[in-house]
Amino acid sequence: MVEQAQADIRRISAPGIFEKVIEILSARGPLDGKRILDAPAGEGAFAQTLLRRRLGLEISCGDLDPQQFKLREVACAKVDLNRTLPFADRSFDLYTCIEGIEHLENPFHLVREANRVLRPGGSLVVTTPNVASIRSRLQYLLYGAPNTFDYMAGPAWHINPVSYIELRHILENNGFVVQTVETNELSKTGSWLHQCLKPLIRSRGRSWVKNNPKAAQVRSVLLDDKLLFGDILIVQAVKIDAVPGLVAEKGIVASEVHVSPHDSR
In a domain, 157, yes or no: yes
pLDDT of the residue at 171? 98
- Say if residue 40 is preceded by a cis peptide, omega within 30 of 0: yes
In a domain, 247, yes or no: no
Q: What is the CATH number of the domain that holds 162?
A: 3.40.50.150
Mean pLDDT by 10 residues, the chain (265 residues): 70 94 96 98 98 97 97 96 97 98 96 98 98 91 85 75 97 97 83 82 81 88 92 97 68 38 36
In a domain, 212, yes or no: no
What's the whole-model pTM score? 0.87
pLDDT of the residue at 263? 39
In a domain, 206, yes or no: no
pLDDT of the residue at 5? 67
pLDDT of the residue at 258? 35
Domain count, the chain: 1
In a domain, 197, yes or no: no
Interacting residues of 87 by C-beta distance below 8 A, sequence separation 6+: 37, 60, 117, 248, 252, 254, 255
pLDDT of the residue at 259? 37
Cα end-to-end span (Å), the chain: 15
Residue 233, judged by CB atoms within 10 A of its CB (0-12, 13-18, 19+), counts as buried
Q: Which domain holds residue 72?
A: 17-186+231-239
pLDDT of the residue at 241? 86
In a domain, 235, yes or no: yes
